């Protein structure tokens, strides 16, 4: 089985988010970057599939050279090889175009992504790549098995779950539950030294999205405690102070 996993390079989940004074960009100084956690789930699933059935796992990232530590970690976790598209991703369309371009002649049986990146939370790349490559796509998948060229996928839906069958090749976006991410071990880190990381130049792609301004959410107001026997006060407060809800 030949699998492509899309990897985003995102700020660590504990990062304190700050923006530049003109509110046009995110302050990256001192920020640690990690593999997008949902992509890590996708990568682990890809490894589980190939460990069982044989095959290769290629990771792809669209980003400049600063994303290479993240890619190297994916190789240390167990990916076979990696491709870095040497561009600066501005929107999902740009990323999807690059991924689709790399993937189009490679006959991947499966392309996996995370359900969304935890920085911009767009959730668009998987579906866009599927459209560009004319492949079926299933989003936010909790469980995935592949047998005899048929993928069985489980998704959570309102009040229950949905089980789908879909022939490969297909594109799947992963969510929690699909696999338990792995910590790179020493052997993995050592073998990542010599695994191929190919850098390709990006296609010229127009930027469709423009970022006008970044704002932090309003600071949370203080919690007001109401004695449990004072329902009238609670109702008053709900009418007066919490009326926007």
Judge whether 143 and 153 are in contact, CB under 8 Å: yes
- Which one, 47 or 129, has the nearer CB to other proteins? 47
Is residue 185 involved in binding other proteins (CB under 8 A)? yes
Stretches 3-11, 171-179, 184-192, 198-206: which one binds other proteins (CB under 8 A)?
184-192
Q: Closer CB to other proteins, residue 24 or residue 187?
A: 187
Per-residue string for binding with other proteins, 65-104, x by CB under 8 A? Answer: ---xx--xx--x----------------------------
Binding segment toward other proteins, per CB under 8 A, in 95-103, 112-120, 161-169, 178-186? 178-186
Sites for other proteins among residues 5-34 (CB under 8 A): 14, 30
Is 47 in contact with 77 (CB distance < 8 Å)? yes
Contact letters for other proteins, residues 108-147 (x by CB under 8 A): ----------------------------------------
- CA distance linking residue 95 with residue 87, whole number of Å: 9
- Identified binder of other proteins from the candidate list 186, 212, 219, 223, rule CB under 8 A: 186
Contacts for 191-194: CB closer than 8 Å, 24+ residues apart: 191/75, 191/76, 192/72, 192/73, 192/75, 192/76
Q: What are phi and psi of 240, to 5 degrees?
A: -95, -60
By CB under 8 A, residue 222 contacts other proteins: no
DSSP 19: B
Residue 67 and residue 102 in contact, taking contact as beta carbons nearer than 8 Å: no
Cβ 34 to other proteins, closest distance in Å? 8
For the CB of residue 110, give the shortest distance to other proteins in the complex, in Å: 26
3-state secondary structure of 38: helix
Per the listing, tokens 């561009």 go with: 87
Q: In the chain, helix, strand, coil percent, each to 5?
A: 30, 25, 45
Interface with other proteins (CB under 8 A), residue total 16
Which residues sit at the interface with other proteins, rule CB under 8 A?
14, 30, 68-69, 72-73, 76, 183-187, 189-190, 192-193
């Amino acid at each position: 089985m030949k699998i492509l996993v899309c990897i985003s390079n995102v700020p660590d989940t504990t990062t304190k988010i700050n923006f530049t004074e003109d509110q046009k960009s995110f302050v990256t100084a001192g920020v640690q970057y990690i593999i997008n956690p949902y992509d890590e789930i996708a990568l682990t699933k890809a490894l589980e599939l190939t460990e069982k059935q044989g095959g290769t796992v290629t990771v792809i990232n669209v980003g400049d050279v600063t994303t290479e530590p993240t890619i190297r970690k994916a190789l240390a976790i167990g990916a076979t090889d990696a491709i870095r598209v040497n561009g600066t991703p501005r929107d999902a369309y740009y990323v999807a175009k690059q991924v689709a371009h790399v993937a189009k002649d490679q006959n991947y049986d499966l392309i996996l992504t995370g359900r969304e990146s935890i920085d911009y939370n767009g959730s668009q790349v998987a579906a866009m790549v599927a459209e560009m490559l004319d492949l079926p796509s299933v989003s936010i998948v909790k469980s995935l098995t592949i047998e005899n060229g048929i993928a069985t996928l489980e998704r959570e839906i309102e009040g229950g779950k949905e089980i789908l069958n879909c022939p490969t090749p297909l594109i799947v976006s992963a969510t929690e539950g699909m696999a338990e991410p792995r910590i790179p071990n020493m052997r993995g880190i050592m073998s990542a030294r010599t695994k191929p990381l190919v850098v390709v130049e990006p296609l010229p792609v127009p930027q469709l999205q423009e970022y006008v301004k970044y704002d932090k959410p309003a600071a949370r107001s203080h919690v007001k405690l109401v004695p449990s026997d004072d329902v009238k006060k609670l109702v008053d407060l709900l009418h007066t102070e919490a009326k926007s809800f």
